[in-house]
Chain A
Amino acid sequence: MTDSPQAIDCQEALERLYDYLDGELTAVRTEEVREHLKSCAPCMALSSFESAFLRFLEARTRAQSAPEELKRRILQNTVFDARDR
């Protein structure tokens, strides 16, 4: 396999889309997808939609944090445990 970017078709771009959006591709493979998206409006539209969905998903699910009481309990049973000193 060569190290310089090659032209890819829609099918190839869509197969790699999530890898691309997740930052899982090498620089060369990333460049290939990016170049395809630049020249293909339907794939670019799909890519924007999927990318927006992933941002939405993260925003709607990351608000939850551990209750303060649980944090206190864990600290007491680990680093502040008197029996452990």
Chain B
Amino acid sequence: MSDAKKLSFEEEALPHLDAVYRVALRLSGNEAHAQDLAQETMLKAYRSWSQYREGTNARAWLLTILRNTFINEYRRMRRAGPTVDVTEIEAFTVFHDVQDTDPEGTFFDQLVDEDVLRAIDTLPDEFRETLMLSDIEGLPYAEIASITEVPVGTVKSRLFRARQALQKQLYDYAIEMGYIQKPELAE
């Protein structure tokens, strides 16, 4: 590889390693696998760097490689944990429960990173993946659609259900921990 190509890889691809690692961690559910998956993704990207068109979206390109590598080589290794049911979700339910007691959702502030990551991990694969790409990595719908190979409408409906399911999980956990009272128990 020419020095110019190496330099462009270093400048355009490597800065996205944190994003690649974060997504790998949530996909694989395990730090050792996440490191292997992130490394393999970056090596594959390096080997095919000549196919990358400079100035296009390197992060989306890397995340596509990551996702394909995960599906082909790692998915079977993911331990199947409990998964939350998202099929019933159709409305903004948590807000309706807390609008009189905590309309600003200040109870969320009592939850720590680990609580949130654990809750994200219980989302079904395709919902977890969509939520990560949108809400953790900040990708636009069109890019998520391209990476996950579904129409934009599917991205939107998955995102809605994933966010609401996550909110509900965290709300239930906050009740359990006593950070907020159930509406019927509140004064």
Contact = CB atoms under 8 A, between A and B. Distances in A.
A79 B10 contact: yes
Nearest to B138: A58
Contacts, number: 110
Interface in B4-38: 6-7, 9-10, 14, 17-18, 20-22, 25, 35, 38
The contact size tier of chain B is 35 or more
A64 to B, nearest CB: 5
Nearest to A45: B103
Q: Which of A45, A56, A58, A65 has the most CB of B within 10 A?
A: A56
Contacts of B140: 22, 24
Nearest to A78: B46
A14 B42 contact: no
A38 interface: no
A50 B95 contact: yes
Given A18-B160, A65-B18, A57 B92 contact: no
Please classify the interface of chain A as helix (H, G, I), strand (E, B), loop, or mixed, using the class held by over half of its residues. Answer: helix
Contacts of A19: 156
Contacts of A57: 116, 135-136, 163, 166
Given A18-B163, A24-B141, A46-B92, A56 B21 contact: no
B43 interface: yes
Interface residues of A, number: 33
Interface string A1-36: 000000000000010001100101000000000000
A24 B142 CA distance: 9
A61 B116 contact: yes
Interface stretch (B50-58, B107-115, B177-185): B107-115
B21 A79 contact: no
B64 interface: no
Given A56-B108, A60-B113, A74 B95 contact: no
Contact of A49 (B7, B105, B109, B115): B105
12 contacts: A45-B99, A49-B98, A52-B104, A58-B135, A60-B113, A60-B116, A64-B22, A65-B21, A66-B17, A74-B17, A77-B46, A79-B10
Interface of B: 1, 6-7, 9-10, 14, 17-18, 20-22, 25, 35, 38-39, 42-43, 46, 92, 95, 98-99, 103-105, 108-109, 111-113, 115-117, 120, 134-136, 138, 140-141, 156, 159-160, 163, 166-167
